[in-house]
Amino acid sequence: MRKEMNTEAIIEKDGRKYKEVPVKSAWPIWAAAAVWLIAALILPMYTPLHLVIAAALSAGAALLVKKIVPKETKLVEIPFYTGNNDLDETVRTINTSLTNLRTAGEKIGTAKPETAAQLDNIIKTIGKIRDAIIESPADLQKIRRFLNYYLPVTEKLAGKYALLTAQDTDSRNIRETAASIEGALAQVDASFVRQLDALFADDALDISTDITVLETLLARDDLK
């Protein structure tokens, strides 16, 4: 999703915001240097006139290349900020872990598609947990263990698995360790879904209560 904000292109991706920042190209500098080199070979550079000509041609070449070469941009993440230090730090921590997990998933790639798919599911669930906390910062205490233990351990396991699958040697230790990590990630996948579900437990209770009251009132008023 792309939005315009203060004339800057704001891109929303994976629950995070980025801005496009122009990248200065080195091509105009190389073009100007090339003109000076050519001029030095064909012109008597010891005269002021030829120095001025070379300088003018060099500047012209730089401007021409600057117009011709496509403008390059890079994405720079806009730091998450609400003014709630606890929430802001939590979201930044989760976003860093998500970046590292995606990197591990890319390294695993097609070598282990099933594990890569499972890791992708874990990443999506973590993103949903982050979004739920943003919507309800009061639930921060519910994810302390998730944030301080489960998340960094999952990140570590994914990183180790990426390293193991990149090895050319098919040793017994590598196979057994990789298999144990696969089993652990399967448990993490299910556990993180339960963690997400727990964040909505109070909402489910509130909604259930509201429905009960609604049905009672409708029945009392002969509207049911």
DSSP per position, 94-108? HHHHHHHHHHHHHHH
Burial (CB count <10 Å: 0-12, 13-18, 19+), residue 221: exposed
How far is CA 135 from its chain centroid? 20
Q: Which CATH architecture has domain 82-210?
A: Up-down Bundle (1.20)
For residues 143 and 130, the answer to whether their CB atoms sit within 8 Å is no
Q: What is the pLDDT of residue 217?
A: 57
Buried b (16+ CB within 10 A) or exposed e, 73-88: eeeeeeebeeeeeebe
> SS3 of 5, please?
strand
Residues of the chain with pLDDT under 70: 1-8, 45, 202-224
* pTM (predicted TM-score): 0.68
* pLDDT, tens digit (0-9, with 9 covering 90-100), for 82-123: 889 999 999 999 999 999 999 999 999 878 899 999 999 999
Query: Which of 75, 76, 71, 74 has its CA nearest to residue 25?
Result: 71
Q: What is the pLDDT of residue 4?
A: 44
Pair of tokens at residue 57:
């041609």
Q: What is the pLDDT of residue 167?
A: 84
DSSP per position, 8-52? EEEEEETTEEEEEEEE--SHHHHHHHHHHHHHHHHS-TTSHHHHH
Query: Which of 49, 36, 58, 196 has its CA nearest to residue 131?
Result: 196
Query: Which of 126, 98, 128, 145 has its CA nearest to residue 200?
Result: 128
Domain boundaries, the chain: 2-75, 82-210
Question: Largest Cα–Cα distance in the chain?
Answer: 104
Q: What is the pLDDT of residue 222?
A: 65
Q: What is the pLDDT of residue 70?
A: 81
Burial (CB count <10 Å: 0-12, 13-18, 19+), residue 101: buried
